[in-house]
């Protein structure tokens, strides 16, 4: 995919499941459609709960505690994904990564996050693994510490420019302290803004399907100001819900230099068939700021939106993790 090489843009797949890894995943790597992958607690909860591919290993692990069972299952998948992506990583050290998230219940525990990140990284033992850390106050220090210890990091659940700035600064400091070629991404969530706000915007006569793109672009500009070639903005949560927008909308509009888009498999497939393959015109930071001034004049409290989406995201991942642990304990 020449586009990626031209502007350092990559498409990663936001899905992990054992049968998928042995089939479709390998096809889309071979065809150079994707250059990496991501996972999260909700993805693993769905995959482990609904796929028979885990039954044999579950049976072997049933005497263990629930979190140990989960980690063994998840680490097996992450190791396999890392193995399949390794050639891409060797060709281009910016790419070929797979992400695994620390226990979401640790989101306010800096030391616990650091210890678990180091442990998971060591257990997986692959150079193309990123440890996912939520962008909370506790998470910023953990990101800095993990990168300074030579661990690649995916900073996740970023909704506001303030979070993006704090993540980028923490990662920049950690990478520089490591004296190693450590990579990091700042994962800015996109589509959830429009799902949350479009009804209110429509009622106020404001353009719908726009807040997610404008906010993501503002965050992108903030990350780019750090000017660390080892840190890229990753546009996450880019699947479209409903029929109001083209399925590849959040990919088409965010093909920016020095960025990643991690999308669900269905979104990737639609983008391949119907989406735009050329570089997107970058919305200027001035235009982003003007847009937010318009929202303010229409009494849209964007800071409230940021807080609600972050809290919802944290609680959603915690709930998925608790549900999965409960199922594994009963297994």
> Could you give the CA distance from residue 2 to residue 8 in angstroms, rounded to a whole number?
10
For the chain, the maximum distance between any two Cα atoms, rounded to a whole number of angstroms, is 60
* 9 strand-pairing partners: 259
> In percent, how much of the chain has pLDDT > 70?
99
Give residue 47's pLDDT band: very low, low, confident or very high (50, 70, 90).
very high
Those residues with Cβ within 8 angstroms of residue 264's Cβ, 6 or more apart along the chain or in another chain: 13, 14, 15, 238, 239
Residue 214 has pLDDT above 90, yes or no: yes
What lies within 8 Å, CB to CB, of 223 at 6+ separation is 164, 167, 168, 186, 231, 232, 233
pLDDT in tens, 236-252: 999 998 788 999 999 99
The answer to whether 194 and 208 are in contact (CB under 8 A) is: yes
Residue of 4, 132, 144, 229 with catalytic role: 132
Q: Which domains does the chain have, with CATH numbers?
A: 2-330 (3.20.20.70)
The pLDDT value recorded for residue 241 is 83
Give the model's pLDDT for residue 267: 96
Sorting pLDDT into bands at 50, 70 and 90, what band is 228?
Answer: very high
Asked if residue 2 has pLDDT above 80, the reply is: no
Structural contact between residues 152 and 184, judged by C-beta atoms closer than 8 angstroms: yes
Rounded CA-CA distance 193/212 in Å is: 5
- Scanning 210-301, the segments in alpha helix (DSSP H) are 211-226, 249-252, 265-274, 285-297
Tally the residues of the chain: 331
Summarize the confidence of residues 149-171 as an average pLDDT. 98
Q: What angle do CA 170, 173, 177 make, to 5 degrees?
A: 140
Whole-number Å distance between alpha carbons of 264 and 169: 29
Q: Is 144 one of the catalytic residues?
A: no
């Amino acid at each position: 995919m020449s586009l990626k090489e031209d502007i350092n843009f990559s498409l990663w797949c936001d899905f992990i499941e054992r049968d998928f890894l042995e089939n479709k995943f390998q096809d889309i790597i071979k065809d150079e459609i994707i250059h990496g992958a991501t996972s999260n607690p909700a993805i693993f909860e769905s995959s482990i709960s609904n796929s028979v591919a885990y039954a044999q290993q579950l049976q072997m692990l049933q005497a263990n505690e629930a979190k140990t069972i989960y980690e063994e299952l998840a680490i097996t998948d992450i190791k396999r994904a890392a193995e399949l992506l390794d050639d891409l990583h060797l060709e281009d050290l910016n790419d070929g990564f797979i992400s695994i998230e620390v226990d979401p219940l640790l989101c306010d525990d800096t030391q616990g996050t650091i210890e678990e990140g180091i442990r998971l990284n060591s257990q997986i033992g692959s150079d193309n693994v990123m440890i996912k850390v939520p962008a909370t106050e506790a998470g910023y220090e953990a990101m800095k510490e993990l990168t300074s210890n030579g661990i690649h990091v995916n900073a996740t659940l970023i909704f506001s420019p303030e979070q993006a700035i704090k993540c980028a600064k923490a990662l920049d400091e950690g990478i520089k302290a490591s004296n190693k070629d450590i990579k990091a991404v700042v994962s800015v969530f996109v589509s959830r803004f429009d799902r949350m706000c479009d009804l209110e915007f429509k009622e106020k006569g404001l353009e719908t399907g726009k807040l997610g793109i404008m906010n993501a672009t503002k965050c992108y500009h903030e990350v780019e100001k750090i000017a660390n070639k080892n840190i890229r903005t990753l546009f996450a949560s880019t699947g479209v819900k409903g029929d109001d927008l083209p399925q590849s909308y959040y990919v088409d509009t965010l093909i920016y230099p020095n960025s990643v888009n991690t999308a669900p498999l269905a979104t990737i497939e639609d983008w391949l068939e119907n989406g735009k393959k050329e570089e997107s015109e970058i919305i200027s930071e001035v235009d982003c700021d003007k847009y937010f001034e318009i929202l303010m004049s229409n009494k849209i409290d964007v800071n409230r939106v940021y807080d609600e989406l972050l809290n919802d995201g944290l609680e959603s991942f915690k709930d998925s993790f608790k549900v999965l642990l409960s199922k594994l304990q009963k297994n």
